[in-house]
Amino acid sequence: METYKMFINGEWVESSNEEVLDVKNPSTGTTMAKVQSASNEDVHRAIDAARNSFDSGIWSRLPPGERSNILLRVAELLEKNQEEFIKIETENSGKSIKQVSGYDIPYTIDNIRFIAGACRTLEGKAMAEYVSDGTSAIRREPIGAIGIITPWNYPLMMVIWRAFPAIAMGNSVVVKPASYTPLTTLKLAKILQDAGVPDGVFNVITGPGSSVGEEMAKSDKLEMIAFTGSTEVGKRLSVLGASNLKKVSLELGGKAPFIVFKDANIDAAVESAIVGGLVNNGQDCANSTRYYIQEEVFDKFLARLRERIQKLNIG
């Protein structure tokens, strides 16, 4: 059984407290790997690595075109190694291999290429003039070192969505993946290293969110925290971030409505309801969780939905 190390400042390191956590395969309930349980010392070591790499300019001062080329190499290497990532993501998340191989990993690779292209096309804007002897313009700049805390429902994809726009712009990051699903994020760190991302730009630490996440939010060396997860934890991070005026980006729980009017195509509505409510095993922030059906077609819709659900295969 493999014991994964954390990735800090370009090195694979064990936790300073020598503690490890079991990572389970939810389909079997068995332990599939072990990861480090970061101490506060480890958290601050990763933050310092991100802070120092940003301040050095080794990444933040590279032309956007050079950063873009490196991220395109990341996409290429991930594509070449996607079978390994598909296997690990499937076993670690409990998803069907069909979803991981047909959606999660291919879209993750495509998202990297999109982000790599987008960082080359940023525009500055001239502003309205307010004084006669001056001019104004908007220029986009990286903000510094950023803490990233990602969820378990799309383990690898959420790291890309959160961390890659940040590093594409020249920021350095500390990523804390969900304790349930950290393995592909750790594998991704090796891909970035092989692609040429400098040491300290992309760091990965593992451990309980209650301690690691809070320590990140309290740090005055991180300019920003980006979090995807529960509303309760998001509120806590907002409070901690406010204590040092840290920027906070939150994607929290959703309760999306699904509405069917009486003139709708009921068969099409049922198919949309199946996808909207059950995609990714129902574990999606935008899933339909409230259904509003106009009274005239309520019974018809419910009967068709029940019939359709009974024909679904599990797994």
Active-site residues, by number, are 251, 285
> Which one-letter amino acid corresponds to residue 93?
S
Distance CA 69, CA 78 (A): 14
| Separation of alpha carbons 170 and 166, rounded Å | 7
276/159 Cα distance (integer angstroms): 23
Mark out the alpha helices in 145-297 (DSSP H runs): 155-168, 183-195, 209-218, 231-242, 266-278
Task: For residue 308, give both structure tokens.
Answer: 């359709």
Phi then psi for residue 60, to 5 deg, are -65, -25
Contact (Cβ atoms closer than 8 angstroms) between residue 159 and residue 177: yes
45's tokens: 């070591």
Q: Which residue has the tokens 């971030």?
A: 241
